[in-house]
Amino acid sequence: MPASLSLRAAGTDVQLRASGPAGARWQVLCDTFAGPLAWNGTLPPAPGPAVTRWPRPDARSCEATLHAPQDRAGAPTLLARAALTLPAAPPVTPAATVTAAAPPSALPAAPAPLTGRLTVTPASVRLGLREPWAAQVTLRRADGTPAPDGTPVLLSADGPAGARLSATRVTVNGEASWQLTPDVPGRYRLQARAGRWQATAAAAAQPALLGRRPPVLWAGPDLEVGPLRWTTGAYPDDGTPVTLQALNRSGRVLWTAQVTTAQGVARARVPTLTGAVTLRLSVAGAEERLPWP
């Protein structure tokens, strides 16, 4: 049975539509500002597409994968993949209203100038260990009193290779706070804005993989990654994704697959590809490149 997968935002829900062999396993992984959020399921034996839906998460993007029930090599075979980019907030359809022009005396006054500070802790986080940056903004009016409750504050983080995180919060008692989890290593510039006020801070993200480069054993079509360990000495959680890509001489991706770890080891069967010269392997911000045999 041919496999297919689609992922879309349907109103206030996210909908997954999947079809394939009975027992095929699907996973949806959403990149939320507090860390990854995952849903898992298995296709029923009944023919036809299976439809699953759940409330839209506070996330910037989601990715769905469908894997075969089993593989002779013991590694899951990727049947289909789908991606979805979500807006910062679910769309709201306002009710139709009729308003009369307000007299000048009834118009709201311009917002008072604000002062404040942005703090980000810790200064450096380790990818793979679910360590977020805790960012906090404290805003005050000119007279020293807290900014009005509900003042919107936008926090953004710009990192290497176009990596970007952003989220908006509103103040309570003059304070707004975030938890941001990066997925690309490097230095980031965090910026907070509220009206004309703005502040910046610097932070960094580094791979938590012991040795910084994942060990790889590649014999024939069988590839083994690991055993992987964090700098804490622990294995990554079972199910930690490892991404494999085949590149040609110009750097174009010819093939990609994602496998997951069990007891710190991930296994895959690599196909024969004409034109491939490099295998790129990445896990939790750490990367290794091998010449294609």
How high is the pLDDT of residue 201?
Answer: 92
Kindly provide the b/e burial profile for residues 192-229, where b requires at least 16 CB atoms within 10 angstroms of the residue's own CB.
bbbeebebebebebbbbbbeeebebebeeeebebbebb
Kindly provide the b/e burial profile for residues 28-55, where b requires at least 16 CB atoms within 10 angstroms of the residue's own CB.
bbbbbbeeeeebeeebeeeeeebeeeee
Q: Residue 217: CB partners within 8 Å, gap ≥ 6?
A: 223, 224
Q: Residue 259: CB partners within 8 Å, gap ≥ 6?
A: 75, 76, 225, 241, 242, 244, 266, 267, 268
Nearest CA among 71, 63, 69 for reference residue 5: 63
How high is the pLDDT of residue 211?
Answer: 81
Nearest CA among 179, 182, 178, 180 for reference residue 161: 182
How high is the pLDDT of residue 94?
Answer: 40
If DSSP codes are grouped into helix, strand and coil, which group holds residue 222? strand
If DSSP codes are grouped into helix, strand and coil, which group holds residue 59? strand
> If you search the block for the tokens 């006020």, which residue do you land on?
197
Per-residue model confidence as pLDDT tens for the chain (293 residues): 678 888 888 777 788 888 888 888 888 887 765 556 777 788 888 777 778 877 777 777 788 888 888 655 555 688 888 888 876 544 433 433 333 444 444 434 435 678 889 999 998 999 888 788 889 999 998 888 999 888 889 888 888 877 787 888 888 889 998 888 888 889 999 999 988 899 999 999 988 888 878 889 888 889 999 899 988 888 888 888 889 998 999 888 988 888 899 999 999 988 888 888 999 988 888 888 989 87
If DSSP codes are grouped into helix, strand and coil, which group holds residue 106? helix
Calpha distance 179→202 (Å, rounded): 15
Query: CA torsion sign, 254 to 260 to 266 to 268?
Result: negative
Single pTM value for the model:
0.55
Amino acid at 232: T
How high is the pLDDT of residue 33?
Answer: 56
How high is the pLDDT of residue 40?
Answer: 78
Q: Are strands 124-127 and 197-207 parallel, antiparallel or unpaired?
A: parallel
**Three-point CA angle 284, 287, 290, nearest 5°:** 145
The pair of structure tokens assigned to 210 is 């012991």
